[in-house]
Chain A
Amino acid sequence: MGENRIVEINSCIDRIPYAEIITPFDNDGLSLKGKILISFDELEKPLEFEVIIGPQYPFKSYDSESIKFMNNNLLEYNHVMGDGTICIHTSHSINLKNKIHIDFLSLKNWVIRYYINKDNDTHYEHLIVPDLPIDDSYYSFIFTDVSHEFKKGDYGLLKLSQINDGKLNEKLVSNFITQAFADQYGKEIATCNWSSNYKNYNKTSQGIFIFVEDSPSTYNRFLFQDWNQFDEQFTQDFLDFLHSTEKMFITKKLRDKLLPLFIGYKISESEIHWQVAMLKIGDFPIYGMNNGKVWQTALKEGIINWTKTRNSSYHYFFGRGTFCPKLAGKRILVIGVGAIGSCVARTLVKGGIKQIDLADYDIKEPENVSRSEYHFFTGITEKVHELGDGLSLLSPFVEVGHVNQKYFEFISKVLYKEPEAKKEFETFLNSYDLIFDCTTDNDLMYVLDSLTLKTDLINLSITNHAKDLVCSFSPNIYRFVTTQYSNILDNDIEDLYNPTGCWSPTFKASYNDIAVLIQYALKQINLTYEKGNSKNSFVLKTNSENGFEIKLEQY
């Protein structure tokens, strides 16, 4: 580190009225290290901090400040990491002197708020988990809500499914989801609230759980690091269960395999969290102890191998943003899953929809991929199946169903005037809360419009080049849409794309051209439901003459 920078930092800190340098800053590898005292009127005794300033300072790295204030004696206070580093997030500045002043002020504010006033934050922060590989690999466990209330001391077996492997810090990470909690004899007591698609995954892995209720931590912030810290939380019954379970797995020739132990505790009155520690079969942290009368299982010392454990309940999974509850809570049918329908379905699922059915007779060809929500890798396949699988990959909470397209392509068109068939068709469609017709099939649009539907029906289509999008709400779809296309919109049908080898011209537009309009339309639809506005049909008109513009025209 250059001499000038060292001088500049020392002199800058020297000028901070509440800071005193007790060990001047000097090179420590690539960083600078020094010691300071913080003292001001409200502080009874000065506080000492070791300060490390990284070479990238005043820039941040990995979303963390490159200046560290450390004091191992402050671990009991909020926002102190395991190595004694005070956790500060401060304002951005590219000026070294400014940044030092900002960061020292943050430190002073931490001292006032958490050291002097001993404030507790209103939001819960997870315990600090040492994040290390085990036998050169990482493991992650994702759990979700169950409809079961655990009591202190409950323990038993867990059923797990392995999902995709990943990569983390150049190492393999094996990912698992919880499936079911069972008692010690293997009888299920609670299944996880995933969608049926996930529930049906093979439950090939097992684990053990214990609900200890109280946070297994020091200062309510640092997870226990040694097994013997669980002395008061693990009951004798559970320790004996650990012993018998280990024996059982050894009998099954699983010695040296890893087994996850889920330790559950309350993080609020109504919410529990699970944290997983990995046990090695044949090396459980237990031993047999003769108390003079009988042999008992006892805990022994040993470092705990914690792993990544995440709560993926619906509430957290979609916590960052969804469609409004009035839309997200609907049971939805999407008819026609081409460029528009597939994008609508995917956006709905990303927006938190839990029940969606798909209908389309078409198969996916390679040339569909570029502007629809399909993948090349899956080759030629039915659109509804590929899209359904894709939606399930996105959300573990969406139930995806397929509706026989013959219903829309043939039965409905032949029998829609026959009273019984019409009634049956209406009853079927009314079982949904919302239907998107993205087929561009004018005949189907007419048939659907002729039915008496209680459910909302929305028809979406675009003109060539995705110049305009037409969105029509029931019950006046057919006339509105046909009048738009026949009399109002400028639909260029000369400049079409003619795929080689077939005489079926299609429209020209890229994924971006189409998606931008669909997202806009869905935003408007969401707003309509959220505000309880009148369900007005609308047209989105684009204009590229002076920068790209979208104009909403409500009818």
Chain B
Amino acid sequence: MATDKNEHLKEVLETNKMSHVDDLLDKYKEKRTKIKEALEANYKEKIYSPLNSGSYAKHTAVNIKFDLDLVAPFKKESFGTLEEMFDDVFDFISDKYGSEANVRKQKVSIGIEFFADADGDVISVDVVPGRELNKDQYNDDNKLNLYVNSKYGVIEEKAYMQTNIQAQINHIKNRENERKIIRLLKIWRTTNSEDYKSFFLELISIKAFDNEDISGSLWDKLRAVMEYIRDNVTLDNFTLVDPGNSGNNVADTLESWQKENLSTKMDNMIDRIEDNSDNIKIYFPINDDFKDDDEDKYGVKEGASTFSIPSRDQRFG
């Protein structure tokens, strides 16, 4: 039976909305506030007020998997080097939360994954330490230097990258069409266990809208963005300028083979969905936890348990 691609995608977006997980989100926010307060208490005059960032701040979060990001903007004189800053924040967080969370160094952030609480919820917050470029300049320009802890695409480890989180947030303001597509691509990324970064998907989607005539139905728009990625991501001169730093090419966060793979995946996705609209369910699944349908409270569809006859999903081998 053919699937109505637009209706399906609308339901995908609806069932993946953050509003379905308000209670969980409150827990995240509470943890983030505590971390923010702890950083301010520990670093006192060395730190500016930590800033919420990431997908939730940009309204591109989806409920199936998310974390909250917190930028810790340090003053120029607080640390001799960016590496010292990164290590110091890691040590502080490890001491403070090591007994209740897994704390690990990531590419430019420190990940805090709290052990499951009584409800079984696992809260994750990423802290991104950054240092202003020049003394007392942060309040004027919002610019920060981040420490690159491990190889980030073609950017070597122990390097630094300059960024402006506020400019990144502003970049996606009032772009609701783009946000929908970004959310869909993030749902694809998460449910299909792909590891493309949210920031990359965000920038490439916005660039597609800026460069192509993207209009029509939700599927039309999604397909047009996927076609743009397929046709452009592997081009030699393709760049994705970081709105926080025009010197950063975010396309460089992928190596060339990863770009080739991404292009092939987009090609396969378009072909499969156009071949058979049911395939859209493989790439963009509805979040069954928040689906409004005829399932009973155990999530069992009527007729799923036919007496001793294999069901349609019986595999053989």
Contacts and interface: CB of A to CB of B under 8 A. Distances in A.
Interface of A: 336, 338-341, 438-440, 442, 460-464, 470, 475-476, 479-488, 491, 493, 496, 503, 505-507, 509, 532-534, 536, 553-555
Counting chain B residues whose Cβ lies within 8 A of the other chain, the interface size class is 20 to 34
Given A480-B282, A536-B268, A555-B282, A488 B313 contact: no
Nearest to B195: A475
Instruction: Please indicate which of the listed interface residues A440, A486, A507, A534 has the most CB atoms of chain B within 10 Å of its own CB.
Output: A534
B316 A486 contact: no
A217 to B, nearest CB: 52
B313 A491 contact: yes
B312 A488 contact: no
B99 interface: no
B10 interface: no
21 contacts: A439-B317, A440-B314, A440-B316, A440-B317, A442-B313, A462-B316, A470-B315, A483-B281, A485-B313, A486-B313, A487-B281, A488-B282, A506-B316, A507-B316, A533-B261, A533-B264, A534-B265, A536-B265, A553-B275, A555-B268, A555-B283
Given A482-B313, A485-B313, A487-B278, 16 more contacts: A338-B317, A438-B317, A460-B317, A462-B317, A463-B316, A476-B193, A480-B282, A483-B281, A485-B315, A505-B310, A533-B264, A534-B260, A534-B264, A553-B272, A554-B268, A555-B269
Given A476-B192, A476-B193, A491 B282 contact: no
A13 B317 CA distance: 64
B237 interface: no
Contact of B317 (A340, A479, A488, A503): A340
Contacts of A462: 315-317
B282 A483 contact: yes
Interface of B: 191-193, 257, 260-261, 264-265, 268-269, 271-272, 275-276, 278-279, 281-283, 285, 308-317
Contacts of B276: 488
A368 to B, nearest CB: 12
A442 B315 contact: yes
Contact of B312 (A338, A440, A461, A485): A485
Contacts of A470: 315
A487 B260 CA distance: 29
A478 to B, nearest CB: 10
B268 A484 contact: no
Given A483-B285, A503-B308, A505-B310, A534 B316 contact: no
Contact of A461 (B264, B283, B315): B315
A536 B263 CA distance: 13
B35 to A, nearest CB: 25
A439 B316 CA distance: 8
Nearest to B308: A503
A485 B314 contact: yes
A313 to B, nearest CB: 35
B309 A493 contact: yes
Nearest to A480: B282
Nearest to B268: A554
Contacts of A480: 192, 282
Contact of B257 (A442, A507, A532, A555): A532
B317 A336 contact: yes
Contacts of A338: 317
B156 to A, nearest CB: 23
Nearest to B3: A487
A483 B310 CA distance: 16
A534 B261 contact: yes
B317 A341 contact: yes
The 8 closest A-B pairs by CB, nearest first: A461-B315, A340-B317, A507-B316, A485-B313, A534-B261, A476-B193, A440-B315, A475-B193
